[in-house]
Structure 1
Amino acid sequence: MEDDGDVLAQLNSQNVNQLLRMLENYLPQSIVIQNWIRKHQEWESKVPEMEFKVLSPRAKVSSGCVAICICSGVAAKQYGVVFATEENSDLLKQCLSETKLIHWEEFTHFTGVLECHATIMSAVLGSKGFKNTDAQISQSFLLQIPIERALKQKPKMLPDGFVIGSVDLSHFPEAINIWDGYRRTTMKMFELNISTGVFRVHEDGRKELVAMSVQAEYGGVSILQTAPHFQQQGFGTSVLTDITSKMAKQGIHPHGHVLKDNFQSLGLFKKCGYDIVGKSFWIFIEKND
C-alpha cells in the first residue's frame, strides 16, 4: 500500500505494540480497538490470507491519539475499527476525510464505533457519497468488566446431566442471526477463538448443545445464545461467566455489545458483573444509488 505524503501512515509491528501499551491509558473507551488489534495479531499467524493494517496520523505515529484499523482477507470485504482520544476528534475527522489509504467501497462495516466517533464517521461517509441513514447504523450498549473482578467470579453450578466445555467449527450451523457478510468471519471465530458451551449429556453419551458463547473477531463476547427449550434456566449465565473467566485469565479485557432494545441480554450481562460504559455503533458502508 503506497502511503507517501498521506495524512495517515501504516504502523510497523513495533509501533503497533507501543500503541497497544498507550491504549491501556484510555480504558475502557479504548477496549474495542485494543482487543481488536490483539485478536488480529493472533489471527495473522493462523490465517495466511488475512492482512490487517493499523494506520495513525503521520505527524503523530504511535502516539495513541488516533488509530484506524483495517482487516482484509477474512470476510468477502474489508472491515475495521476507529479510535481517537476526546481531544483529537477533529484530527480523526481530518484523517478519515483526507486519507487515500481507506478504500471505502471495499468495506462492509466498522465495528463498535464509540458514540463520539459515530457522528464523525457518518458525516465523512455522507460527504463521500455513501448512505447516511439509520438503516446504516446499528446502536448497542458497550459493556465491560474489569479483569480483576472477572477473575474473582465463581462458576455457576450446572444441574446433573449437564457439562461445560468448548464449541468448535462443527457447532457453527447452530448459531442464529448471522448476517450474510459476516458468516466467513464468524466461522473463524468458531475455529480459532475462545469459546464456551453447555451440553446436555444423554444416556447414550451424545452431547446436545444447550447454550454457547464465542469470542468475536473484535475480542469481545459474541454469539451468546441459548437453545429455545433451555431458556430461562440459567445456562446463559453459565456460559457468560465461563467465557468471561477464560478471557480474563488470558489477560483479555472482557467486554461485549448489546443491541439497545435487547433488554434480556443487557440484564444478563449486568447480572454477570458487567457495567455499561457507553454506546457503540456498527456502521455499515453502502453506496448511494
Structure 2
Amino acid sequence: MLQPHGRLYESFSVFCPCEQLDDLRLVEEEDVLIDWSRPIYLNFTHHLILEHLENFYTASIGTTDKVCGDIYVCTSPLEDVQPEELPPDGAEMLQLKPEHAKEIHDLYPANDMESVEVFEKLITVLPAYGIFSSGELAAWMVQSYYGAMFSMQTRPEFRRKGYGIHLAQYLTKVVTLRGYIPYVVIRPENDASLSLYKKLGFKKHYQTVRAVLRPHGYDDANDAPGGGGNDDDDDTAAPSDD
C-alpha cells in the first residue's frame, strides 16, 4: 500500500452539500484521515464550507491563509459567440509542447502551488495552446487537471492585440467538444478576465477558496517538499499557482 511521505492518507476528498454544513462536524471529529497537528491544504473549496471549517479551526488549532476565486461557467451556446480572428501581424496559434512548460510556469501567478512537471503533463494530455509571434511565445492557455480552463496569460509586450480572447474562445470550443463543461476560476479583483469571459457567455456560479490551515507554532522545516513530511524517516527530509 502506498504511503506518500510516510503517511497513509496524504490526500483525500470530502464531499458535503452546502445545505448540510452541520455534517462537517464529522470532519472536525476525524482523527484518522486528518492529522490536525500538520498543515492542511484545501484546493478550490466552496466558500461556505471553508467559512464553517475556519470558525472551528481558528478557535483553537491555528490560522488560515486564503485566496478567493469565483467560478464562472460557460452557459451560452458556442454558436452565439462571434469568433475573434487573430490580427494580421504574423501571429499563429499552435499546440503547446512540454518544452514550453518552464517558461509558462515561471510567469504563472500562482507558481508556488504547481510544479513545472504538472504543466508538462497538462500540455501532454490536455488541450493547451499558445499564440506565437515571430516564433516567440506571446500568449497561452491550458486546461487544468481539475477541469477548469486556466493559466491564460499574455506577455505584457503583446497585450491589446486580441490574443487572449482568441485563445479563450478556441479553448472553450475544444473543451466543450471533449465533453467537458467549460469553466474558469477568476479572482474577484481581476477586472480584465471578468470582462473577457463575460463576453464569451460565462456566468458566475459561486465563490471558491484555496486555503492553507496551519497549526499554531508549526515549523515548516518539518515538511518535505510537496507538503508532506515524516518525523520517523530521515530519508524524507529535505515549488507550485491562481
Matched, 1:216 2:149: no
Which segments of 5 or more consecutive residues in structure 1 lack a partner in the other structure?
Answer: 2-48, 52-71
Q: CA deviation at 1:211?
A: 1.0
Structure 2 counterpart of 1:143, from 67, 72, 81: 72
> Equivalences for 1:129-208 in 2 at 5 Å?
129-132=61-64, 136-146=65-75, 149-150=77-78, 153=81, 155-160=83-88, 161-175=90-104, 176=107, 177-183=109-115, 184-200=117-133, 202=134, 207-208=135-136
Structure 1 counterpart of 2:207, from 279, 283, 287: 279
Q: CA deviation at 1:166?
A: 1.7
Q: CA deviation at 1:106?
A: 6.3
Structure 2 counterpart of 1:260, from 179, 188, 195: 188
- Let me know the Cα RMSD of the aligned residues: 2.8
Q: CA deviation at 1:79?
A: 6.0
> Equivalences for 1:1-289 in 2 at 5 Å?
82-91=14-23, 93-99=24-30, 100-103=32-35, 109-126=41-58, 129-132=61-64, 136-146=65-75, 149-150=77-78, 153=81, 155-160=83-88, 161-175=90-104, 176=107, 177-183=109-115, 184-200=117-133, 202=134, 207-289=135-217
Q: CA deviation at 1:237?
A: 0.1
| Distance 1:129-1:260 versus aligned 2 partners, 3 A rule | same
Which segments of 5 or more consecutive residues in structure 2 lack a partner in the other structure?
Answer: 218-242
Amino acid at match of 2:61: G
Within 2, Cα distance between the matches of 1:106 and 1:168? 37
Task: Report if aligned partners of 1:78, 1:107 keep a CA contact under 8 Å in 2.
Answer: no
Determine which structure has greater relative contact order: mean sequence separation of CA pairs < 8 Å that are 6+ residues apart, divided by chain length.
2
Aligned residues: 208
DSSP-derived class of the 2:216 partner? coil
Amino acid at match of 1:163: E
**Structure of larger gyration radius:** 2
Task: Report if aligned partners of 1:142, 1:256 keep a CA contact under 8 Å in 2.
Answer: yes
Deviations 1:47-74 (A, max 9, x none): xx9x9xxxxxxxxxxxxxxxxxxxx79x
DSSP-derived class of the 1:97 partner? helix
Identity %: 20
Deviations 1:231-278 (A, max 9, x none): 111100011111111111111111111112111111111122111112
Q: CA deviation at 1:215?
A: 1.1
TM-score (norm 2): 0.74
TM-score (norm 1): 0.63
* Structure number having the greater helix percentage: 1
Within 2, Cα distance between the matches of 1:283 and 1:173? 25
Q: CA deviation at 1:189?
A: 2.5
